[in-house]
Amino acid sequence: MRKEEAAPRIPVHVAIIMDGNGRWAKRRGLPRLKGHQEGAESVRAIIRACRNAGVKYLTLYAFSVENWVRPRAEIRGLMMLLKRFLSRQEYELHENKVRLRVIGRLADLPPEIQRELKRVMKATERYDAGQLILALSYGGRAELSDAVRRIARRVRDGEIEPGDVDEKAIAAHLYAPDVPDPDLMIRTSGELRISNFLLWQLSYSELYFTDVLWPDFREPQFREALAEYARRHRRFGDIE
């Protein structure tokens, strides 16, 4: 009698650095914004792929604190794409009971974008089938700095003692302390760095790098990343 094969391990939380939109456009002689537009289609495809695979949390590095130095026209275009994405994606969030969340310095975003994000977050906050987390005006160092400031205020106000500040206390003051750390971090476009993304949370994540540019990264490429993850053995400091 043939032994049944074990089901593949599926990460609970996948985080993605979506890189390569500009290069995708440049190689085709197109404006950079066209690359971002095509990248938005990849976002929608990967949201569906996560749902199909059983991934419960998806965090997307959508706009970093460093991205504010980009040309104003490009930033305006990105904010317009974000607003359009929210409008088009909201139906699927409701249909599939997926909660939208944002990590980062939300107050940095244009007021109309803030309002739309808050509206969709409020409308989906009770859903528990999965979570889509957008990192907007986000930086890992900024997140840790904000956490330290919140802790310092609590120490100043006598709510906690300095001796109480340990790893657990720091984690509790991050932007989304209830979200489990990513099991798998994916970066597209061939760059081999994490670029100030989830510096605290990626401590024991599996890292997967691919040369595929983000606009070309769809469900087949995502499944390749999941297959690679399933082949790895996570030890968390233990021995073989």
Task: Please report whether residue 7 resides in a domain.
Answer: no
- pLDDT tens by residue, 139-192: 999 999 999 999 999 999 999 999 999 999 999 999 999 999 999 999 999 999
* Residue 156 counted as domain residue: no
Structure confidence at residue 235 as a pLDDT band (50, 70, 90): low
Alpha-helix runs per DSSP H in the chain: 21-27, 32-53, 72-95, 111-124, 140-156, 167-172, 219-231
User: What tens digit of pLDDT does each residue of 94-133 get?
Assistant: 999 999 999 999 999 999 999 999 999 999 999 999 999 9
Catalytic, 96? Answer: no
Number of domains into which the chain is organized: 1
The per-residue pLDDT for 234 is 72
Q: Which domain holds residue 78?
A: 13-140+184-230
| Residue 171, in any domain of the structure | no
154 falls within a domain: no
Residue 127 in any domain: the answer is yes
Q: Which candidate in 21, 67, 146, 164 is catalytic?
A: 67
Gyration radius of the chain's alpha carbons: 19
To the nearest whole number, what is the mean pLDDT of the chain? 94
In this structure, is residue 155 part of a structural domain? no
CATH of the domain at 47: 3.40.1180.10
Residue 134 lies inside a defined structural domain of this protein: yes
| Inside any domain, residue 52 | yes
Q: Is 196 designated active site?
A: no
The owner of tokens 């994916």 is 186
pTM for the full predicted model: 0.93
For residue 100, list its beta bridge partners. Answer: 132
